[in-house]
Structure 1
Amino acid sequence: MKNKITYLIAAITAMALSSCAEERLMPPHPDGEEGESVKVELNFRIPPASIPNQVQSRGTTVNAGESTIFPVDYFQESYSAETRSDASTALYNLWLFQFNADGTAHGLPQVVSDQTTMVNDMALLSATLHVGTNQTIYLVALGKKVTATGELAEVRTIGDLEAMQLDYVDNRSGLYYSRITSENDIPYAGAVRGVTVRKLNDNDDSGEIVYNTPDGFAGGIEIRRLVARITLKHKFELTDNTLQGMRLLKVPTKLLIDPSSAGTDAIEAIPMADLESENAFNDADQDADGFFTSQWYVAQNKQGTVAEILTEKDRYRKVNAAGTSATGYAPEQATNIEAWSYAKSKHDLYTVHQIYVGNNNTDNFDVETNSYYNIRTIINSNDTGDGRIRSYTSKQKVYLSSANGSTHAGADGATNAYFDAHYGWRPVIIYAQGRKVTVSIYRDEGCTQLTDMNNPTENWLQLSEYPNYTEVVRNGGKAALTNEFETNIFLPTRFKLYLYADEYITNEDGSITKYNLSKDQLYKTALKTSDPTAFLKDRALYVKIITEEIAAEGIPKKLEAIYAIKQKQGYYTGLFGGEIVDGQYTKGLIVDGVDEYRIRYDDLYPSSQSAFLSNDLYFGYYNVFTGYVWSKDNSIEQNYSRFVNGKQATYNLAINAENYKVNTNLESQLSPMRKVNGHIDLYQYTYFENFHARYCHDMNRDKNGNGVIDYFPDDPEKNELEWYLPSNYQAYGILASGGTIMYGNMALALENDAFYSNGYELDYGAGGNTSKTSWKVVRCVRDIPVPNDKKEGTKATTYTTESGDSYVMIDLTNLPYGIADRTTPEGKEEIYEELDLYSYSTKGELYDEGAPQADASKPLGKKVIRMIKNTSTNKISKPALAGTFCSRKFIVSPTDVYNDGDVISNSNSEILKDANGTPRANSITMTWAEANGRLNTANSQGIDVVSQAMLTGCYAYRGKNGTDEPGSWRTPNIQEMSMIWIFAHDLVNFSTTTGFEQLFLDKKEMYYYDAGYWSSSLGPYKGNAAWGALDKNYSTNLERDRNMTTKYRVRCIKDIP
Structure 2
Amino acid sequence: MRKIAILYLLGALLVSGCVRDEFDTTRVVEGAAARISLKITLPVMGGGTDTRAVSADVEKRLDNLFVLVFDGGGQIVTRHRYTAQTGASLSSLLIDTRSGKGHTLCFVANVKDGMDSQLTALTSYDALKELLVTATELNLGQSTDVPLIMTAIMENVNVQEGANSISNPVQLQFLAAKVTLTLVDNTPGTQEVTIIGWDVQDAPTRSYLFPDDSKDANPNPETAGADKDEYWLTTGVDYPFEEEDKQAGTATQTLYVFENRRGGRIARALPADPDEQYSNMGLNDKDSRGKAWYKPKRATAIVVTAMHKADLVTRQIKAFIYLGQDNHSDYNIRRGHHYTFTVTVNGLNEIKIDSNVDFLVGDFLVDHGDNLTMDAHPDFRPMRIQAPKGTATMEILDSQGRTYDDPSGFDAIWLKISPLNLMYHQVKQPGNIWQQDADPDSKFVRPKYIPHKSVRAKLASKGGWNAIPAGKDDDDEMIFADATHRMCYKITDIPFTEVTVTAQTLYVYADDFPVRDGTRNARVRFTYHKDGDASDKLGVMTFDITQRGYISFYLDDSHPDAGLYILNEDGTPSNVKRKTVVERFHEYRIMMNPGIPARVQYTGGVRWGFSRTRLYDKPDFFRNGKYMTANAVYNDVVRNGNEPTEFGKRTDSYREMYGNSNSDLGNTTDPIPPYTGSNSGAPYYYPDPEEKEIYHPIYRTSAARYCHEKNRDLNGDGIIDDSETYWYLPSAHELIMWGIAGVMTHRYANLSSSESNNATSQIRSVYMTAYDEPVIAYHSKYSQAFVRCFRELEKTITK
Shorter-chain TM-score tier: 0.3 to 0.5
TM-score scaled to structure 1, two decimals? 0.26
Which protein has greater RCO, CA pairs closer than 8 Å, 6+ apart? 2
TM-score scaled to structure 2, two decimals? 0.33
